[in-house]
Amino acid sequence: MSNNKYDKDSYARDTMAYSVPENERRKKRPAGQNPQRSSGQGRPHGVQPGVYGPPNEYGQYPNEYGYYPDAYGRYPNQYGQYPDEYGNYPPPPAGAQRNGAASHQGNKGGSSQSRSSQGRPPQNRSTQGRPPQNRSSQGKSSQNRQSQGRPPQSRSGTRSSGQRGNAAGRPAQGTQQKRLQNQRAYTAAAPVKKRHKSIVWRIIRPVVILLLAIFLIYSIIALVFINKMNIVDRGERLPQASGVMSSSGTRNILLIGTDSRSDGERGRSDSMIMLSMCSDTNTINMVSFMRDAYVEIPGHGSSKLNAAYSFGGPELLMDTIEQNFKVEIDDYITVNFNSFADIVDAVGGVEIEVSDEEAAAINVMLDSKEGKKFFGEPKKSDYLDGAGTYEMNGKQALFYSRLRKVGNADFERTERQRKVLNQIIGKVSNPARLMSAAGSALPSMTTNMGKGSLYLLSLKAPFMLAGYDTAEIRIPAENTYSGANVGGQSVLQVDFDANIDILEEELYGK
C-alpha cells in the first residue's frame, strides 16, 4: 500500500483493494444486505441506490463522488479521503481537484486517470454549489491521525473533544449523524401512529354513525308524538307555600285520571297519582293521594281532595297538594277513561289477579249503562269467569281500577290503580311498546309541559323505565288517618305531619 496519504488515486485503489477475511466479512456484511442499513444508522448522505452507479460485490452503492465504502462502511469525501475513527476528514491536499471534474491531477507524474478505469462508470455530476460534506476546518491543524497502518477504531462509546465540532463552529459528523437518526426515527414513527388512528376510526365510525342515525330517528318520532298531545298554558298558580320540599334530583309529575269523555270536558278527578322520579336513588315512586282525604283547599275552605280539581282544575289541585303535604309539583298530565283503555291495549294488556267478588263487579260494570256508553256492547270474551289471573284488555283494566264497593273501599281502589300503572310501566320499557302506547294515548292527553320539556323527558324515559326501580306509596299512610263524618260525608282526617315525614324520607331521602 502506498505511503502517500494524499495521492487520492493510489490511496483509493489501495483502500478498495483491501481484503477482509471471509469470516469477518460474513459477520460485518450479511449477504445481500447493505452494512449501513444493518447498522441501524440509515444511508449516509449522498448515497442513493442506482443513481451514482451500480452496487459492488457486497451490494454497496457509491456516493455522489463515485466512491465505494471501505471495509468499515466509511465513505470518502470529494477528494477521495476517508475519515478517521471519529468521523473527521483530513485537510484536502494542496492543488487537489474535486472528483467529478474532467480529469484528476495525480502527484506521481501529473498523469490523469479516469475514474472509470477502476470499474466504475464515469460520474458527470458537478459539485458546484454543493456544500462540502463532513469536511474539517481548513484552519484546524492535523492531529497526526493516519488511516494507514492501523485499523480504524469503533465509533461507539464515549467520545471526547471530537464531538465538540470543528474550529468553524460546525458540529462534528457524529453529532450530525445522531440528529439525522433522531429525525429519521421520528419520521418513521409518525406514519405508524397515523395508520393506528386510521384503523381505530374505521372501527368506531360505523358505530358512531349508527348511534347518530338511531338518535335522529328516535327524535323525529318523539317530536311527532309530542305534537299530537294537547299542550296548554301553565296557568295561574298561587305563591308557593313555606316549607315545600324540593330537590334538583327529584321531579314530580301529577297524573290525573278524569271521567271526562272528550278533551274539552273537565270532568271529575277519579284518581290522583304523583310520579316522583329521583335520579339520586334511581327510583320511580308512585304516590297515590286518596280522594276522600279531608284537606284545606286554597280559597274554598276544607273539603275532599278530589273537589280541588272540580273547583279550579289541575292548577288548584297541585296548589292544594303542595300546601297540605309540602311536596313541590309543577307539571301534570290528565288522562281520561278512553286514553287509559287505549294505553292498556297498546302495551298488549296487563296481567292482573282478581277475586270472585272483583270478577263479578267487573262483569256488572261491563253491562252497566255507563260501561256501554264508553265502550259499547261488551263481547263475550270481555267477561271474566270467576277468580284467577287474567291478561286484561283496556276496558277490563279500567273497570278493575275503578272498583270502590269491593274490599276496603278507596284504600284497595288506589292499590288497584297503582298495580295497573306498575304493569304498564313494566310493559313500556320495551321501546316498540312505548311507541305504540304513546301513539294511541297521547292525542287524548293534556299537559302543561312545553315541547322542549317533553322532548327532554322522552330522551330520559327509556333509560328510566329500563334502569329505575319502582315503589308504591299511599297517602295518607297506614296509621296516619282516622275516619270521620263531616257534613254528612265520609272523610279521612289526616295526620299531616306524619305523612309529610314519610314523603320527605321516601322521596328525598332526608
For residues 276-283, give the mean pLDDT. 91
> Which residues lie closer than 8 Å to 61 by C-beta, 6 or more apart?
34, 47, 48, 49, 50, 51, 52, 53, 54, 55, 68
In the predicted model, what is the mean pLDDT of the chain?
A: 75
Q: What is the mean pLDDT of residues 199-208?
A: 86
Q: What is the mean pLDDT of residues 96-118?
A: 42
Q: Do residues 306 and 218 touch, judged by C-beta distance below 8 A? A: no
Is 450's pLDDT higher than 90? yes
The beta-carbon contacts of 123-132 under 8 Å, at least 24 apart in sequence, are 123/52, 123/53, 123/64, 123/65, 123/66, 123/99, 124/100, 125/52, 125/64, 125/100, 126/100, 127/64, 127/65, 127/78, 127/98, 127/99, 127/100, 132/77, 132/78
- In the block, cell 286514553 appears at 339
Half-sphere exposure of residue 391, counting CA atoms within 13 Å on the CB side? Answer: 5
Cα separation, 17 vs 200, in Å, equals: 55
Evaluate the omega torsion of the peptide bond into residue 476 and state whether it is cis, within 30 degrees of 0: yes
First to last CA, the chain: 101
Check pLDDT > 80 for residue 7: no
Is 70 exceeded by the pLDDT of residue 407? yes
Q: How many CA atoms lie within 13 A of 75 on its CB side?
A: 22
What's the pLDDT score for residue 77?
85
What is the CATH number assigned to the segment(s) 250-508?
A: 3.40.630.190
Percent of residues, the chain, with pLDDT higher than 70: 68
Could you count the other beta carbons within 10 Å of the beta carbon of residue 390?
19
Q: How confident is the model at residue 44 (pLDDT cuts 50, 70, 90)?
A: low
Reduced to 3 states (helix: H, G, I; strand: E, B; else coil), residue 58 is coil
The closest of 375, 408, 430 to 478, measured between CA atoms, is: 408
pLDDT at 452 over 60: yes
Identify the pLDDT of residue 289. Answer: 94
Cell of 231: 299542550
- How far is it, in rounded angstroms, from Cα 139 to Cα 168? 8
The pLDDT, as a whole number, for residue 132 is 43
What element of type H or E holds 432? helix 431-441
Q: Indicate whether 22 pLDDT > 80.
A: no
Confidence of residue 405 (pLDDT cuts 50, 70, 90): confident
CA distances to 364, 365, 372 from 369, in Å: 10, 8, 5
Residue 89 has a pLDDT of 82
What are 245's strand-pairing partners? 327
Place of cell 313500556: 428
pLDDT at 160: 42
pLDDT band, residue 196 (cuts 50/70/90): low
C-alpha–C-alpha distance, residues 405 and 412, integer Å:
10
What is the spatial distance between Cα 156 and Cα 163, in angstroms, rounded to a whole number?
12
Grid coordinates representing 134 are 463532513
Each residue's pLDDT tens digit, 121-156: 444 444 444 444 444 334 443 444 444 444 444 444
State whether residue 257 is helix, strand or coil. Answer: strand
pLDDT at residue 337, as a whole number: 76
Strands 489-494 and 481-486: antiparallel
3-class DSSP state of 285: strand
In this prediction, residue 443 carries a pLDDT of 82
More confident residue, 115 or 229: 229
Cell (9 digits) for 99? 472528483
Global pTM value: 0.58
The model's confidence at residue 101, banded by pLDDT at 50, 70 and 90, is very low
**What is the 3 state secondary structure string of 107-131?**
CCCCCCCCHHHHCCCCCCCCCCCCC
Query: In this structure, are residues 407 and 360 in contact, taking their beta carbons and an 8 Å threshold?
Result: no
